[in-house]
Amino acid sequence: MTTPIVAIHGGAGTMSRAAISAEQERQYLDALNDVLAGAQDVLAQGGSALDAVTEAVRRLEDCPLFNAGHGAVFTSAGTHELDASIMDGATLRSGAIANVNCVRNPVFAARRVMEDSKHVFFVGKGAEDFAREQGLEIVDPSYFSTPARYEQLLRVQREMPDAAVLDHDGQAMVAKEQPAAAPIDADRKFGTVGAVALDARGNLAAATSTGGITNKQIGRVGDAPLIGAGCYAANQTCAVSTTGTGEMFIRMVAAYDVAAQMEYRGVSLEEAANAVIHDRLPRIGGKGGLIAVDAQGRVALPFNTEGMYRGYARVGEAPVASIYR
């Protein structure tokens, strides 16, 4: 029997510590701890790693502080396109959906694809129709909108009308008229959420979900729903969920690369995760981070930005949540 563990992330990016209050920072830490406690409880009651990551990501999707589900960023057309993926390390089964705008919890749809279809990946209307057929909760697209995200879209369109801005990457756009409202500046943040877990039976699982990037072109899909890029799990090695410059994580097949290095090079989880985040991705300008847990319950949470919303919780121990380095 192994001690079950769950780890989560809510995005990585540039810090704005000087612009926030202690109360705002505590709001994010409280949210992370609440998500960890919920997933930890699933594992403590004998739940599977799949159940734990589903619960964690569901809670992150429901929290407007993060760019997934309620609180998702806007496309260039002022709409929402949500993506999610999930993978079972015991069987390598996986499911994913992309470009949906009415499924309340995309992670639920991804899991249904994995468990109740013969396919792996549904997109757009087909994904939404599948979710309806499965009886998942369907909402009006306005459910995902928040005033803060809409202002973010207007600011990007005003200052960089032709740019799609990752939920982190305001390096080229200076938005000085408003103080940051979060420990990681919303205009300088990679907006993805994810969870990885190891259960008492030694099974691993991973899940990732995102609202995409602000002002993106309709139809763009990043790494979050792509098995091997934004999400991967195999009992023999590890479970991984990523957050960062999606196109770069796709090119590097970043999530799978952690597992592959462990299997083929024989290195530890920590060494493999650090190699991907601090060596391989920077070669092509990739920024962000990942969370990972291996078959022995070791956890890695590396990032090459100034901070990452992150945390982990072992059954029987208090959750640990962090933002800054």
Please give the positions annotated as active site: 192
* CA dist., res. 253 & res. 231, Å (int): 10
Is 95 assigned a ligand-binding role in the annotation?
no
Half-sphere exposure of residue 104: CA atoms within 13 angstroms, side-chain side:
9
Backbone angles phi, psi at 177, to 5 degrees: -75, -15
Question: Is residue 223 marked as binding?
Answer: yes
The answer to whether 175 touches 15, Cβ cutoff 8 Å, is no
Contact present, 280 and 262 (Cβ < 8 Å): no
The answer to whether the annotation marks 246 as part of a ligand binding site is yes
244 annotated ligand-binding residue: yes
Please work out, in degrees rounded to the nearest 5, the angle formed at the alpha carbon of residue 123 by the alpha carbons of 58 and 287: 65
243 annotated to bind ligand: yes
Question: What is the DSSP track for 161-217?
Answer: TT--B-TT--TTS---SS--SSSEEEEEEE-EEEEEEE-TTS-EEEEEEE---BTBP
222 is in an annotated binding site: yes
Q: Which residues are annotated as a binding site for substrate?
A: 220-223, 243-246
Q: Which residues are annotated as a binding site?
A: 220-223, 243-246
